[in-house]
Amino acid sequence: MPVVETFEVEGHIVDSLLLAKILDQILDTGADYRLVDVDIVHVRDPIFSGVQRGVGLGVDNDSLMAFSMTGGSISDFQKNATVFNFADLNVTGVTITGGGAQTINAQNGIQLLNSTGTIADNVITNIGYAGPADAYHSRR
């Protein structure tokens, strides 16, 4: 059984390439991770496209693992601000800013699969779709 550690990344602006490398190294050690006051930006194609990629923050575990993000922001993403899978979450005080009413690719703020925990006191704005296809949203 691996030793469980908690790693904390605090107060940085992180582009999509660097964040993936940091989180992959943390997961390779079997650790939980926590982001504090980290800004995630520019996770998209150079020219906004209809390709279903461009996730600001993806947490995809094989089993339930703790993840925490406190403060910071996620902006300038192509598809989703976040996607969480098998995560025990504590996501608070995060500002998520979408690209407004998109005509090519609908954006999502927070997407959850097989996860539990707390998502509270976040600000999510400018998420929209204005294309020709029928669309819907849910809010709990």
Q: Give the model confidence (pLDDT) of 97-136 as tens digits.
A: 998 888 888 888 999 999 999 999 999 999 988 888 776 6
Instruction: Provide the pLDDT for residue 41.
Output: 84
Over its C-alpha atoms, the chain yields an Rg (Å, rounded) of 15
CA-closest candidate to residue 70, choices 91, 46, 40, 45: 91
Strands 32-36 and 55-70: parallel
Task: Give the Cα separation of 91 and 123 in Å (integer).
Answer: 11
Residue 139 has pLDDT above 50, yes or no: yes
What average pLDDT score do residues 69-78 get?
92
Instruction: Provide the pLDDT for residue 57.
Output: 87
Instruction: Provide the pLDDT for residue 137.
Output: 61
Q: Which residues contact 37 (CB under 8 A, 6 or more apart)?
A: 10, 11, 70, 71, 72
Q: Give the model confidence (pLDDT) of 14-41 as tens digits.
A: 555 556 666 665 555 555 678 888 888 8
Q: Which residues contact 16 (CB under 8 A, 6 or more apart)?
A: 40, 42, 43, 56
Instruction: Provide the pLDDT for residue 74.
Output: 93
Contact indicator for 70, 92 with CB cutoff of 8 Å: yes
Residue 140 has pLDDT above 80, yes or no: no
